[in-house]
Amino acid sequence: MFNLSNLEVLNLERNRLTLLPPEISLLHQLRVLNVNHNQLSCLPEELPKLVNIKELFLNHNNIDEFPFALKSLETLELAGNKLKTLPDAVADMNNLKVLNMDSNQISIFPRVLCYLPNLENLNLWSGACFMQRFLTPQ
């Protein structure tokens, strides 16, 4: 599969995947990657090599951290995982328009979200935080 150099969309939803192989980075033209509803707990270090990726769907896995800044991303779906926060590197994702992180374990509003100039749609519902904590200046 990794010889498909012109592949733009890859849907691996509901395949009981426990990992993405590092060779995923060989799909240089990939724009959309859907691995929703699998059993992923981590992501390959090579993921940032997908420089053309626009949409990344990681909903309903077991991911507890998202350590990358994928600068070309416009849509990032991380609902139903085990995230507690986002790294500061996410502030470099200037093209991000849609961020879905509902049903995670976020208890403190990730300040890094304040630095995403093109963010249009943010979904944090059904998490571990109380709205009062989000709205209270710190």
Higher pLDDT, 123 or 127: 123
3-state secondary structure the chain: CCCCCCCCEEECCCCCCCCCCHHHHHCCCCCEEECCCCCCCCCCCCHHHCCCCCEEECCCCCCCCCCCCCCCCCEEECCCCCCCCCCHHHHHCCCCCEEECCCCCCCCCCHHHHHCCCCCEEECCCCCCCHHHHHCCC
pLDDT tens digit sequence for 76-113: 999 999 998 888 888 999 999 999 999 998 887 788 88
Q: Are 12 and 36 in contact (CB under 8 A)?
A: no
- For 22-56, the pLDDT digits (tens) are 999 999 999 999 999 999 999 999 999 999 999 99
pTM value surpassing 0.75: yes
Residue 73: other Cβ atoms inside 10 A = 21
User: Cα(97)–Cα(74) distance, rounded to whole angstroms?
Assistant: 5
Q: Structurally, what CATH architecture does the domain formed by 1-138 represent?
A: Alpha-Beta Horseshoe (3.80)
Which residue ranges make up each domain of the chain? 1-138
